[in-house]
Structure 1
Amino acid sequence: LIDAPGLGKTVVKALQSLDVGTAFNAGLAIVVMAIVLDRVTTAACERSATGVPSAEGSGRAPGRLGGPFVKWRRHLLVAGGVVAAVLVYLSHTYVWAAEFPGEGSTGSTIASAADTVTTWAQDHLSGMTNALRDAVTNGLLNPFQSLLTDSPWWLVGAVLVAVGAVLGGRRAGVTAGVCVALLVGTGMWSDSMTTLASTAVATVLVMALGVVVGVWMGRSPMADRLIRPTLDAAQVMPPFVYLVPFLALFGATRFTAIVAAVVYAAPVTMKIIADGVRAVPETTVEAAAAAGSNTWQIITKVQLPMSRSALALAVNQGLIYVLSMVVVGGLVGAGALGYDVVAGFSQGELYGKGLAAGLAIVLLGVMFDGITQAAARRTTAVNGRRH
């Protein structure tokens, strides 16, 4: 957004021009780099935790990579550093060492294939994707957005303060009141309500998906082992990479940003809910089953009610993750505050409006976080008193 060099600039420009192939190619490179860095740092943390780096002379087990590797690890690192320094010197001295090998045709092939798939999807799946987009937009988003933007600001503000007070207590209500007053002061009230509508719809979809998959993972160890690595990998990917495939399917619309936000926020909610369901005592579940409860009754009357604190935390994280996609969604037609921030970065005369929009996003985040965190604390306290 601020014209910094690198892959991010390539993806942003490709998204702005709806060039899915180029965006996919650059996004794939970002994903590969993110996965490599994540795996390397995770492995380093695991080795430190198991004592592998200091296995010699410590009496501790060398772990999975023990034996000769531990003995020669430092020598290999030193040799690798020397080789890298020599290669850097050669690349700054000789042209042949600085030239990139090959013609880079692989990237062009990937971009071309992505464009081909995009064209095929638009030609053959447009009916289904358009129906899904219109159903969510006309059935959920537009009515809720009209309710928020067409109602008097003071009435909507009073409702937000009341919701904060009821769910989170007096302190959350005061926080919501301060944030509402500042939102009015920024002059971005209408755009803030439009963003609030999109955020609320996306969060509802995130929680629906999170509850279904999270309960499945919490009840089935096999499902957890199969799904959790995919969720971990999804959390590694940079946010704007999620926009690329959905831009091909749904075009540059608000719904595209909502779907990307749902996919970005769903992994963390699924894992939180799965952990909450798994934490329900097995004896309680067995007692419910012995009393004649079926699977649906065990889930709805035992496991989910006893996981209320996890559900509240999942709502908190889902809201924050969805809201973090607002600016990214502004690149593909999400409008409202996200578009104002993007326009402020790209057009100097709109910098002030972009700054106000950024402040409005922060205020919405503070309000959401304050309400949901307070609600989570109150739920945890209630569950503690009951037990």
Structure 2
Amino acid sequence: MSASSLEGALDPPAKKLKLEEEGRKVIGTHNGTFHCDEALAVFLLKRTEAYGNADLTRTRDPAVLDTCSIVVDVGGVYDEAKQRFDHHQRGFEEVFGHGFTTKLSSAGLVYKHFGKEIIANRLRSSLDDAKVETLWLKLYKEYIEGIDGIDNGVSQYPTDIKPKYRVRTDVSSRVGFLNPAWNEPFDSTTVDAKFLQASSLVGEEFLSRLDYYGNAWLPARNLVAEALGRRQEADPSGKIILFEQFLPWKEHLFDLEANLAISESSQPIYVLYPDETAGNWRVQAVPAASDSFQSRKALPEVWRGLRDDILSEKSGIQGCIFVHASGFIGGNKTKEGALEMAKQALSM
């Protein structure tokens, strides 16, 4: 079977073995039909110091695999010391840990052992930087675990609920569709080229997710943590959080409350932030749970569905714009007005 770098050069096995003798490293995986997990595993390995310049061999020949520096998704062995990362063998039940229980595929195995290095390299941070650990767990939850679950045939739901429609736009499906069709050429050169295309597709999407979480999600989390820590400045009760800019806060707030073990009696009730476009301010009730339409304490019933001057007159607060009919959110023209709405709502 041929060997190749991720840049697409395809070399015969003899050349690959010669490269090994010269000190060049080789990543091994199986040939034939490919899947999302080994396509991502290879991409990730190419982002490590050890295998950044490695070539790629796609084969099922045990003799050739034995000469590879690292082997993923083939070979029937999981042994970090030997750099063997397969998950198909009987008795394999490895999981990511940290509360995750989905059995790992080759993508999850490589990410578990090399993910922090890859993230640190991308962020130009040290491995012991706290944000590396945070993003390592976040990327597993949001991206890698789904690939592990699909490849291992782990149902997303614990029951046999029949879905109302099919989803075939996930990254595992998109990688699968890159395999040649039954009536298209299936020679090694064609399939190897398709594999490199698949590896790039899933890998670039991984990097895009990492960049988003590192550059947008994590900074928002830090701002929520800061505002949560100084919430008594907005109101001595600590029940009101004030953000000076719009940002996604719900997911972070619930995570931080759990991490900090904030008791139910001390949890914030209302969040204030400027409107994204109009320059007005919003006061929003914190949901009872992250996915709930119920609020910890909705805005007063007597305000709900009212607008502008009528609402200002009813509440005695100048600059009111609206309160939603369900009471989960309201608006005011100024920060001071929104803060007064939240303070009054607490006592009503």
TM-score, normalised relative to structure 1:
0.24
Of Structure 1 and Structure 2, the greater helix share is in 1
Relative to its length, the structure with more strand (as a share) is 2
Q: Greater relative contact order (Cα 8 A, min sep 6): structure 1 or 2?
A: 1
Is the radius of gyration larger for structure 1 or structure 2? 2
